[in-house]
A and B are shown apart, each in its own frame.
Chain A
Amino acid sequence: MFDENQKNIIFFVAISLLLIIMLIAMVASIIYRYQNYRIDYLSNINKLKLNHENDMLRSQLEIQEQTFQNISREIHDNIGQKLTLAKLQLNTIDLSREPSSRSMVEDAVKIIGGAIRDLSDISRSMSSEVIMNSGFIKALEFEINQLNKTRLYSIILKITGDTEFMDSGKELLLFRIVQEALSNIMKHSEASEVSVDVHYTKADLSLIIVDNGKGFDSKSKSNANGLINMAKRAKMLDGVFEIDSKKGEGTTITIKIPLYESTKV
């Protein structure tokens, strides 16, 4: 069919085409490998960034806790002691000579006594020892009781599921998130009723805080410092933080964190 010359030419052209295909395949494989190399590199960079951010946040939180501890100690040791001394001195006054001053002194003693109790409660609230010693639920109950005593709010705490104890550091972080949320409700929401639902499952802990306040546009305020801090703390716990609020419709904060390493949310 083909003579020797033609066969050689056909062979030559076929080799050329094969060469072209091989070379283009080589280049395509280089491009593919480079893309994978770039993806791995960017992923490592992101991990390093995240680790660095977490380390920074951890340092900030440690400094914050240390500051709280110092203030708590100062309140207890200095201010509390001085007020106690003032109360004792008032109690030693002989009121039999001046009965008209009796009611004033008694009032002063009551006020100072109330101030000592309030300072003691603030000191306990700031101190991380409550959580370290009693656990997250006890600390939360204490905090909510303090707020209910003011009679400005009605805060209902509901706990469901079997309570699991976590690492005290994690419980402290979680407690601070709830403290921040309740503090924001007090400052901004004008709410009268708040419900705090704590639900334990085998894998995770869900915390839902709902208030009947004035609400806000959650999308526009998403970069507010307080919200960012809460979200960062939840992320440090490998959890999820969501906030849902509309003007005039109150606010719902949902925090879900895994109880164990292997059940990350």
Chain B
Amino acid sequence: MAFKFFLFNLQCAIICVSFIFSLVTLIRINTTANFKGLFLYCLFAFLLAILSFLEQNFYGVRYAAIFLNFSLIIQLILLGNFILLALTSVRSRRIFRIFLVIFVFILIGIIFQNKLTSMNSKAYSFSDLCLIIFAIFYYLQLFKDPPTQKLNNQPSFWVITGIFVGMGINTPLASFVDYFKIHNSIIDDYFFYIIMVNGYLIMHFFFIKGFICLMRTKKT
């Protein structure tokens, strides 16, 4: 239990730091639309983290699952939009915009098909998989465009890598939630949520790296 609390609180702390970095970047630098969208996601994650922190530490877990399930829609829209705006080809953006809208509606359908008060592993798997597909297309596009900049200096690369790694960790875990719930009595929604925070932790670490890179790039 102590370990679960530690991980949970660590995630909240990292999300707070990520939000602070996004706020500082937004204030100091004239950021592009995709980073403004990322700020909104960090703000949303921060508010959700505070809510979950309060519920977990003071009120017990009651409504976290409902918020977490619906948060997937916000996550898919904001992070999907970030990847979309990072694509340079106008044609690719148009196609992906259409796919993003379709995926959002499918996700809404999946969320409402199951109980809202428990963790919906299908919704998690689907949402994370969509983001992974978008990230892969971004990587493929990197090799089509002329490589005028060093990859280390591209903030978008770090953010999308964070999405790719974070969602890449969570997707298979989310897929196995129902199996483990049936076969293992001590594994519950909360346990899986705690394990999946690792994916979000890593994702927000990469976000912080992306914000630092953005500030450095704008300075030079």
List residues of A whose CB falls within 8 A of some B CB: 4-5, 8-9, 12-13, 15-16, 19-20, 23-24, 27, 30-31, 33-35, 37-38, 41
Contact = CB atoms under 8 A, between A and B. Distances in A.
Nearest to B139: A30
A20 B150 CA distance: 25
Contact of A23 (B139, B150, B169, B195): B169
B218 interface: no
Interface centre among B142, B147, B187 (most CB of A within 10 A): B147
B183 interface: yes
Interface string B173-200: 1001000100111110000000100100
Given A16-B169, A19-B172, A34 B147 contact: yes
B187 A16 contact: no
Contact of A8 (B168, B173, B184, B202): B184
Interface of B: 139, 142-143, 146-147, 150-152, 161, 164-165, 168-169, 172-173, 176, 180, 183-187, 195, 198, 202
A38 B164 CA distance: 22
A5 B185 contact: yes
13 contacts: A5-B184, A8-B180, A13-B195, A16-B173, A20-B165, A23-B165, A23-B168, A23-B169, A30-B142, A34-B142, A34-B143, A34-B151, A41-B146
Contacts, number: 57
Decide if the interface of chain A is mainly helix, strand, loop or mixed.
helix
A24 B143 contact: no
Given A9-B187, A24-B165, A34-B147, 18 more contacts: A4-B184, A5-B187, A9-B186, A12-B173, A12-B176, A13-B195, A15-B172, A16-B169, A16-B173, A19-B168, A20-B169, A20-B198, A23-B164, A23-B168, A27-B161, A37-B143, A38-B151, A41-B146
B7 to A, nearest CB: 12
A115 to B, nearest CB: 62
A41 B187 CA distance: 51
B201 to A, nearest CB: 11
Contacts of B186: 5, 9
